[in-house]
Amino acid sequence: MVALRDFLLPKASIVTPNIYEAEIFGGLDINDINDMQLAAEKIYNLGVKTVLVKGGALKNNFRGADVWFDGERFEILRTATIETNNTHGTGCTLSAAIVANLAQGKDLFSAVKLAKDYVTNALKYALKIGHGQGPVAHFFPLLLNI
């Protein structure tokens, strides 16, 4: 954990901790948007360039709201909340989609917003496969012919 915090995080262009990870790195309990902002600021102060605290695990009307902080501004990113049990892989999918958008020449904030929209649609069109928590639908654009 110390090596991650001291050596890896400061080299990243962006980190995308979920609520539980943000609680650990921020050293606080997160229950709402204000707590997410405080955690984002604390994580930023570890030497991170940009923080996106993901709120998928929050309760009530905060669920799914993410907090962006780049040292200058906070942004609350919201999309529709999708009710599904098929959420396996959302964090990895978000990170991969951010990188894909950056590779296409998008600026970081735009890359994050587009990635969040992509994950929301991947949740919306997730297929129930097998038993238990299924994966998000990474290939939903093929299913919809878009």
Point out the residues that are catalytic: 54, 87, 89-92
The conformation of residue 61, written as its DSSP 8-state character, comes to G
The tokens describing 49, both together, are 């360039």
Nearest to 36 by CA among 21, 47, 14: 21
Instruction: Give the integer Cα–Cα distance in Å for 85 and 132.
Output: 8
Alpha helices in 1-146 (DSSP H): 2-3, 19-26, 33-44, 90-103, 108-124, 140-144
What is the rounded CA–CA span in Å between residue 49 and residue 70?
A: 6
